[in-house]
Amino acid sequence: MTAVTVRNLTKAFGSSEVLRGIDLMVPEEGVTAILGPSGCGKTTLLRLIAGFDAPDSGEILLGEQLVCGNGRFVAPQHRRVGYVPQEGALFPHLDVGDNITFGLLGRARRGGHRVEELLALVGLDSVVRQRFPHQLSGGQQQRVALARALAPGPSLILLDEPFSSLDAGLREGTGRAVVAALKATHTTAVLVTHDQSEALSLADQVAVMRDGTLAQVGTPHEVYRAPADLGVAEFVGAAVVVDADVVDGSASSDLGRLHVTAGYDGGRARLLVRPEQIELGGSSPAGVEARVVEVSYFGHDAAVHLQVLASGRLLTARVSGRSVPVPDTLVQVSVTGQVAAYSPEV
């Protein structure tokens, strides 16, 4: 079933058109990431779903209920939607327990067991219950903010770049904990982010937004491996774009012989090569010689920056951290697997 349906949504602020005909279906009990650069309209879309703003035209349905469109507008407090903003926005004068139960009424608000359940759900020990927000780490604050949003049992949780202020290690761990809590409660979530790794690793569906429109919607694998166009390809991950002539599913290029995915009729094309497809030191006759310019070592893997001798092309290969070449050495470079092809006009 579909938890959220957005149809032909538009929104402008003055003369600035922010959203232009957005169509999006969010499946139930999954995480959909809206991925895009700053200023593309993703937070505006989230606010329209929450009911904080009204669109200029179009419809929004939560389940089968029309909450916006055709002259109807349901106020945010009646949409059963939880909202987790950047920084968590916890009440500084309330302790963790009171923050979590703030939106509850009567007995539910007084019941301590509910707080204990929610803290455990988001991976926090009950000892933090009586602490105040300033006594928590950034990651703990975001988990408490999620617990507060989950407390009333909403049908949908909206997360507006909730991990952007956290450092890399804390961001990854907090993201996994948040998604685990959402899955455990069978809660549908929409996550707004500009971080490609975050979207690909946490979401079941990724909607790539560009200039107020959705450029592509698909699974993380589809968006990364079969991007709708080169713009999506270069935004979602690092890419090397090669111009070549395709004949019978293969192309000769300055990176050697490339095998093109099925579906391209042939002729001039722009080919997409991902860094992890570039193999170093192989004995493939289709390879070319390159010089190692620089190495960025990350421990588990490394980014090897290369220059192809014959053409002067600069490219980056992603390799295992166990076998890293030394700068200024010569290596054989070849491309493994199939590469996507796009029309040169796109």
Span 240-254, pLDDT tens digits? 999 999 998 899 899
Domain limit, last residue, from 234, 257, 281: 234
Flag the least confident range among 9-18, 154-163, 168-177. 168-177
* CA-wise closest residue to 148 among 215, 58, 82: 82
CA atoms within 13 A on the CB side of 160: 20
Of 41, 46, 42, 4, whose CA–CA distance to 25 is shortest?
A: 4
Using the 3D structure, point to which of 206, 234, 262 is the last residue of a domain.
234
What value does the mean pLDDT take over residues 83-92? 84
Asked if residue 224 and residue 269 are part of one domain, the reply reads: no
In this prediction, residue 27 carries a pLDDT of: 96
Domain extent for 263 = 238-342
Across all residues in the chain, what is the average pLDDT? 89
How many CA within 13 A on the CB side of residue 333? 31
Specify whether 283 is located in the same domain as 210: no
Same-domain status, 260 and 201: no
For residues 176 and 246, membership in a common domain is answered with no
Of 234, 251, 276, the last residue of a domain is 234
**Residue 223 CA to chain centroid, in angstroms?**
10
Within this chain, do residues 103 and 195 fall inside the same structural domain, yes or no?
A: yes
Find the mean pLDDT for residues 2-16: 93
Q: Please tell me the pTM assigned to this model.
A: 0.87
Say whether both 9 and 47 belong to one domain.
yes
What is the Cα–Cα distance from 298 to 281, expressed in whole angstroms?
20
Give the pLDDT confidence score for residue 198 in this predicted structure. Answer: 93
Between CA 330 and CA 322 the distance in angstroms is 18
Residues 40 and 180 in one domain: yes
Assess whether 104 and 246 both reside in one domain. no
Do 213 and 309 reside in the same domain of the chain? no
What integer is the mean pLDDT of 100-108? 71
- Residue 56 zone, left/alpha/beta (φ > 0; ψ -120 to 50; rest): alpha
Whether residue 38 sits in one domain with residue 125: yes
User: Any idea which residue has 């349901």 for tokens?
Assistant: 74
Q: What is the number of structural domains in the chain? A: 2
**Cβ neighbours of residue 192 closer than 8 Å, sequence gap 6 or more:** 33, 34, 42, 43, 45, 46, 158, 159, 160, 161
Q: H or E stretch including 196? A: helix 196-202
DSSP string for 141-191: HHHHHHHHHHTT--SEEEEESTTTTS-HHHHHHHHHHHHHHHHHTT-EEEE
| Residue 6: both structure tokens together | 């957005």
- Clarify whether residues 256 and 299 are in a common domain: yes
Same domain for 145 and 185?
Answer: yes
What is the domain-level CATH number for residue 59?
3.40.50.300
Question: Residues 189-206: pLDDT tens digits?
Answer: 999 999 999 999 999 999
Tokens 């090569």 found at: 273
CATH of residue 306's domain is 2.40.50.140
